Amino acid sequence: MAMMTVYEVQYKRLPAFHAAIYIHRDQKGGLMYHAVGSHTAGFRYEACGCERPEKSRSLYKMWPRGKVAREDLPRVDMICQNVPIPCIRTVSGVRMERDCRHWVYQALGDLRAAGVLQEIGQTK
């Protein structure tokens, strides 16, 4: 079973960092899963092929978060599609602003809970 490394990546963007999930497929690149947009324009889910993050001048940092089986890629997309898109909410009078970083944190947790994201060194 072919396993691929999953990374949390952050890019330097104004006014704040942008976070995403990157799955390394081969030397050319991989797959990016993220919530794109802003609080002003609204966020939307996006999954796309991309070059390796290291080739981007705006890359800030990459953290390995685990591994996924190549066969589980459709499940990765399905799970990520079901992660709530960031939005501004008021809870008990307190303004809560979720953004792409919160989305990544929840998506990684959901992938792990579904058994799709494995710890590095583990196999199914």
Output the six-digit token pair for 89: 């909410």
Evaluate whether residue 78 is within a structural domain. yes
Which DSSP state fits 114?
Answer: T
Evaluate whether residue 86 is within a structural domain. yes
Evaluate whether residue 21 is within a structural domain. yes
| pLDDT (mean) for 10-22 | 89
Tens of pLDDT, residue by residue over 47-72, are: 999 999 999 999 999 999 999 999 99
Cβ(7)–Cβ(65) below 8 Å: yes
Report the share of the chain in percent with pLDDT over 70.
94
The DSSP secondary structure of 38-98, one letter per residue, reads ETTTEEEEEEEEEE-GGG-TTEEEEEEEEEEEGGGHHHHHHHHHTSPPP-EEEETTEEEE-
Full residue range of the structural domain in which residue 71 is found: 3-118
> In the beta sheet, which residues pair with residue 26?
29
Nearest to 73 by CA among 108, 114, 31, 115: 31
Evaluate whether residue 124 is within a structural domain. no
Could you tell me the pLDDT band of residue 122, with boundaries at 50, 70 and 90? Answer: low
Evaluate whether residue 37 is within a structural domain. yes
Cβ(29)–Cβ(77) below 8 Å: no
pLDDT at 87: 78
Evaluate whether residue 123 is within a structural domain. no
Tens of pLDDT, residue by residue over 77-106, are: 999 999 999 877 777 777 777 889 999 999
Evaluate whether residue 101 is within a structural domain. yes
Cα separation, 71 vs 56, in Å, equals 28
Answer yes or no: is pLDDT of 27 > 80.
yes
Domain count, the chain: 1
Cα separation, 9 vs 62, in Å, equals 4
